[in-house]
Structure 1
Amino acid sequence: MQFRDEPTAFLRQLFDVAVAAADPMEQVAKYLPAPPKGRTIVIGAGKGSARMAEALETSWSGPLEGLVVTRYGHSAPCSRIEIVEASHPVPDAAGEMAARRIMQMVEGLSEDDLVIVLISGGGSALLALPPEGLTLDDKIALNKALLRCGASIDEMNCVRKHLSAVKGGRLAAAIHPARCHALLISDVPGDDPAVIASGPTVGETTTRADAKAILKRYKIDVPPHVAAHLDKPDAECISPEDPRLARTENHIIATPYQSLAAASAYAEAVGLPTLVLGDTIEGEAREVGIVHAGIAGSVVHHGAPLAAPALVLSGGETSVTLRGNGRGGRNVEFLLSLAVQLHGLSGVYALAGDTDGVDGIEEIAGAIITPDTLERAVVLGINPQASLDNNDGHGFFEALDDQVITGPTLTNVNDFRAILVLPAN
């Protein structure tokens, strides 16, 4: 596809290439272990876990059984592994019940048994099992507060781990003495297995004191019984040195950078010079938009760091501090900020989307901007800055018919951002 003739269609194709690079069907078989002497049990959670289970069933010839939990609408056809759907990003009773059943399935296993754990982004909310003395409502309220306050994914997961019966290595400890073979699709900057889905199969180095400090930093008030739990030694997670983790292996099978590299290779193959800024970009989405606008402006005005035509790619997970009551997500917030900052700069097109197909809580992956985005908005009577101030990115791009809608992609390697800069006519 020619990027000069159809820039928006080209960006959309790039997004599809990035998503395809993280398809579990292409990755799972490469990382499967040898069959055990005993039973094979498959468990897991995440937006890509059902597709991972489907890929495993396709490649596994021996007997197996199990259960994975995924987001509503993100199921995949499986015959031997049960698929349960639950809520994300806010947990619900279906997720709690699935987590409880998973913990029951791994009780009483022997050294001859194998548990294959399929983990992808979203697993933290989907595998919601509160510790004794806490309720699902406690976790839901805290989850909402963390999402609203602008906390980073690392900070959110730290708090979640210390208020969980599954996360922070607790699942792997429960699997002992069976062998635990975990396959993970990374949706986090740095691809740290301890951060993906809050690390249910990974020992944890943060402490309950760290969790309490995060709550204090963001001025999140929790009920007395939640605060009391964080004061108990039981709130500490499983240490990386815990002997119950000795037979646990964690394998990352797909990463955000792999998807950026696939998109970069696709662009270079059609003669488009590409700069990959990295896959670990965090911070407020609107601030990241401002920085990316500066880079695009430098390409236009100075031919640096690349001369047009050029493609700038980046990934990571930004955050949004809610100031308004619009319909938003971090990718559309980024794009709206980028568009406002570019102010119709000639030759600049951009796409941003979540590779799982869901930006925020809406079934919209993201959107596209063009040099005339602001002009078309004004014609419709829409004030772009006001939309940004109201965190109304989805409303803004819906009105312009510039949304990117993929449906569930059944994978999740975080956000994908692409800025295409064409020479001035």
Structure 2
Amino acid sequence: MFQAGLAAADPHACVRKYLHLTDAGIAIGCGDNLRSGTWRRIHLLSFGKAACAMANAATEVIPENWLAAPGIAITNYENVVAVNKIQVFGAGHPLPDQAGLQAAENLINRLKPVQAGELVLVLVSGGGSALLPCPVAGVSLADKLATTQLLLASGADINQINCVRKHLSRLKGGGLARLTATADLHALVLSDVLDDDLSVIASGPTVPDDTTFAQAIEILQAYRVWPQLPDNVKTHLRAGSRGLHAETPKSGDPIFENAGHDLIGSNALSVDAAVAAAKSSGYAAELFSKQLSGEARLVAEQLCRHAVTISRDLHQPLAIIAGGETTVTLRGTGKGGRNQELALAFAIAAETYGLHCGWTFLSAGSDGRDGPTDAAGAIVDRGSLTRIRAAAIDPTAMLNDNNAYPALDAANDLIKCGATGTNVADLQILLLHPNA
């Protein structure tokens, strides 16, 4: 079921569905919603965890002599592969690094000769925010990295983190569109956010941003990280809130008159595919949520209590499926990620609340990487806690230390599938079986 969800977000197939070569030129879109042009100079930019696969699909459609220059693809190191006619850059994720900054500078330089009548085709996928760091003047990459680390550890959600990052960046929050305003711009977007808000995916480099400097400051203060921020960050945000720096371009700005976009894949479509796979495997299927969010361990308890209620009158195998992106507020010093924490917390909750039917629970990231680990997530079952304790490990203590990885590793419950080449957030699948 998880693999079916990944297949629905295959970046190569998604791009090929939306990019077509016609007798007149290139057509972008699907069905009757097509944008056509006679562009003969196309600037191809791809960034995010699916950048290489998306760029490869585009080069299969676009004639080589129509490319104004070799395209650019910027992705995380695990997903770097050679692509014909594309210059590929590896960069850091989830935390930005110097290689990402150099790649971003290369991209900006590549856009300087863009002219009217040309097309800038941008292929966007999840992870683009970290992979394309380009701090504003006066803010260093180290400053921005420290800010990102504080937000990631605070429990702030992706929308809040991106609001702050947009106001510290030259490219995010419509910045890329501002650089290409003289040309035609079109983005094909693979979504990794719950509501498919284009202003949030990769921090919205090609679309308007209606957040403000003042909101960025409010977020940092609400999560109590403002006092720990680098002075350069605080100085820039304060100056921006007083109107001393230009705001990100808002809705209605004329720079977006020649800009278009298509959403070509999302977590919601992957959830639908997992539901269909469950039904074809003989399970009744229930959609728990397409926007699963909140603190991972609390979400685990909510899902478990729901399962306990259903299990009291369970007569056939049932798959309960969700998609989204939870958060973890770091209180310990252990190793793990939000999916591993969710899985371990579910196993503990199942014991606590008395989920007595047969059950198996998967929580995993569609990109194949959960937090700063080599695991995508985990699959736990009724025997998980027994296996963990047999290794002389206290599962509750490990959860409290945000140390799910070694506990789940001891139970042989980690999912290690490697980088998948796509990124549409996370999938959760709970299988319930009536007791024999």
Q: TM-score surpassing 0.5?
A: yes
Letter in 1 for 2:217: K
Partner of 2:417: helix, strand, or coil?
Answer: coil
Counterpart CA distance in 2 for 1:18 and 1:90 is 26
- Check conservation: 1:229, 1:235, Cα contact below 8 A: no
Q: Distance in 2 between matches of 1:345 and 1:386?
A: 23
Does the 8 Å CA contact 1:397/1:403 hold for their aligned counterparts?
Answer: yes
Asked if structure 1 preserves the Cα contact closer than 8 Å seen for 2:366 and 2:424, the reply is yes
Identity of aligned residues (%): 38
Are 1:123 and 2:128 counterparts? yes
Q: Is the 8 A contact 1:275 1:311 kept in 2?
A: yes
Partner of 2:209: 204
The residue number in structure 1 matching 2:416 is 405
Which residue of structure 2 lines up, in the alignment, with residue 48 of structure 1?
Answer: 50
- Tell me, yes or no, if the aligned pair for 2:143 and 2:232 is still in contact at 8 Å: no
Distance in structure 2 (CA, Å) of the matches to 1:281 and 1:72:
28
The residue number in structure 2 matching 1:301 is 312
- The 8 Å contact of residues 36 and 113 in structure 1, kept in 2 or not, is answered as no
Shift of 1:235: 5.3
Instruction: Indicate the residue corresponding to 1:373 in structure 2.
Output: 384
Counterpart CA distance in 1 for 2:11 and 2:395 is 38
Query: 1:212-291 counterparts in 2 under 5 A?
Result: 212-220=217-225, 221=227, 222-230=229-237, 231-232=239-240, 233=243, 234=245, 236-291=247-302
The CA deviation at 1:397 is 1.1
Contact 1:148-1:322 at 8 Å conserved across structures: yes
Residues 1:97 and 2:105 aligned together: no
The structural deviation recorded for 1:205 is 0.8
SS in 2 for 1:294: helix
Report if the CA contact (8 A) 1:54-1:76 is conserved. Answer: no
Q: Map residues 7-406 of structure 1 onto 2, 5 A cutoff.
A: 14-32=1-19, 33=28, 34=36, 36-62=38-64, 63-64=66-67, 65-220=70-225, 221=227, 222-230=229-237, 231-232=239-240, 233=243, 234=245, 236-303=247-314, 307-343=315-351, 345-406=356-417
Q: Deviations for 1:119-150, whole angstroms, at most 9, x for unmatched residues?
A: 11110000000001110001110010011000
Distance (Å, rounded) in 1 between the aligned partners of 2:261 and 2:375 = 31
Deviation track 1:36-58 (CA, whole Å, cap 9, x = no partner) reads 43411111211111111111112
Give TM-score, length-normalised by structure 2: 0.91
Q: CA distance change for structure 1 residues 147 and 235 in 2, over 3 Å: closer, same or farther?
A: farther
* TM-score between both structures, scaled by the size of structure 1: 0.94
Q: Between Structure 1 and Structure 2, which shows a larger proportion of strand residues?
A: 2
Task: Extract unaligned runs of 5+ from structure 2.
Answer: 20-27, 29-35
1:180/1:249 contact within 8 Å kept: yes
* CA-CA distance at 1:217 after TM superposition: 0.4
DSSP 3-state at the match of 2:289 = coil
How far apart are the structure 2 equivalents of 1:109 and 1:331?
A: 42
Shift of 1:382: 1.2
Contact 2:175 2:206 in 1 (8 A): yes
> 1:89-115: CA deviations, max 9, x gaps?
110011001111111111232221111
CA RMSD of aligned residues (A): 1.3
Q: 2:39 touches 2:117 (CA, 8 Å); kept in 1?
A: yes
Helix, strand or coil at the partner of 2:219: helix
CA contact (8 A) 1:257 1:278 kept: no
Separation (CA, whole Å) in 2 of partners of 1:203 and 1:239? 5
CA distance in 2, matches of 1:244, 1:356: 33
The structure 1 segments of at least 4 consecutive aligned residues displaced by more than 6 Å after TM superposition are none
Larger mean CA deviation between 57-66 and 344-353 belongs to: 57-66
- Aligned residue type for 1:43: L
